[in-house]
Structure 1
């Protein structure tokens, strides 16, 4: 039996999935935080320095949201003074390909727009 293609239903499912993804990764900062942690675990202060323009209050909130969604984990290190390190989870690491694709598109787009602006 041949399976029927239902474009409206397929589109609705994709839109729902995209909406779910955007709800989790919403805002200006979450993708940048996840991208940083894909490279190496970082302490709060390192993230604050690496993610340019983010405030401490916003970073704290975004880290909590990412932790709730199991994309990152928070580890208290047994150092003196006590330090906290954030690292990507295996589940969070599944976003690496998406992050690389978005970054690649961003490089191309930036080059295209800047190239157009230079011509004008």
Structure 2
């Protein structure tokens, strides 16, 4: 192994460790919130970081099939964020409609 290859391996390993720590921090943000939008962004960021980690592993291990796995993971991650956003928007609209109806009922009772 040449000096340049060893330097690349060290940089890749350091990047994987750094991304692993950042992944844990994003997981904490996804669990704690405080808002649903924060959770959605954290989940999206986690998916992006996992894709980068898989790409770095593909370079480190010199395995081309990991790039294919990375592309598949990208599609699944994108769809997961879209589905979570749609579910959240449905719950948000339902809550707003319920608040409107309660406001109309209160106004009818007061008059």
Same fold (TM over 0.5): no
Larger proportion of helix: 2
TM-score range, shorter chain: 0.3 to 0.5
Question: Whose relative contact order is higher, 1 or 2, with alpha carbons under 8 Å and at least 6 apart?
Answer: 1
Larger radius of gyration: 2
Give the alignment's TM-score, normalised by structure 1.
Answer: 0.34
